[in-house]
Amino acid sequence: SSSNSFWYCLLSAFFGAVLPDFWLKRRTDSRKLKIQNALPDALDLSVVCVEAGLGLDQALMRIADELQKPYPELAEEFRLRNIEINMGRSRQEAFRNLAERTGSEDLKSLVAILIQTDRFGTSIGQALRVFADSLRLKRRQRAKEAAAKLPVKMIPIMVVFIFPAIFVALVGPAVIQIARQLLPALGGK
């Protein structure tokens, strides 16, 4: 019938257009968050590698190898950046592609700092150390912000699940006593 075909078309549009976009958005947000959480540790490793005498490209290759198990997303992005450089792209272009691929604001800031240090010839180790400190501070602030939001998120759960149980436990005995006293009196016994 025509009413069923309308619902079939509507469900098909939902499952074919809306649901894949929702799934893809969640996956990209999850990947950005994983990269964002991995970045401070990667920067600490890069500071150690650069101060030990490795160049930036070799340090990023080493970081990609070391972070493969704990942070595979960031390690893969660093590998792709190294592959781009091996293919002949400039260092700046490879860094910009890295920032564009990930979409992480912290990584975009890191790329801007690395491009500036490369352009002006300043100390990469010092720039990485300062940026790593600021990222650790940002991570701490994000954790505090998430902790501050937690009581607000718990209110609906408490209203739906905990307060009814408390209400029944507190008011239940009184209702039973009232029912025992009033029902015989109202029934005429």
Q: Report the distance separating Cα 86 and Cα 56, nearest Å.
A: 14
> What's the pLDDT score for residue 5?
84
- For residue 32, what pLDDT is reported? 92
Structure tokens at 88: 């002949």
| Tokens (6 digits) for 135 | 């990222």
pLDDT at 180: 87
Instruction: Kindly report the backbone phi and psi dihedral angles of residue 88, in degrees, each rounded to the nearest multiple of 5, phi listed first.
Output: 115, 5
Give mean pLDDT in consecutive 10-residue pieces for the chain, a chain of 189 residues. Answer: 78 86 93 91 91 90 93 94 92 92 90 89 88 90 93 91 90 90 75
Q: Whole-prediction pTM value?
A: 0.72
The CB-side HSE value for 166 (13 A sphere, CA atoms) comes to 6
- Contact partners, residue 41, CB within 8 Å, separation at least 6: 67, 70, 71
Give me the pLDDT at residue 145, please.
95
Closest CA to 102 of 128, 124, 75, 127: 75
Per-residue model confidence (pLDDT) at position 189:
55
Length of the chain: 189
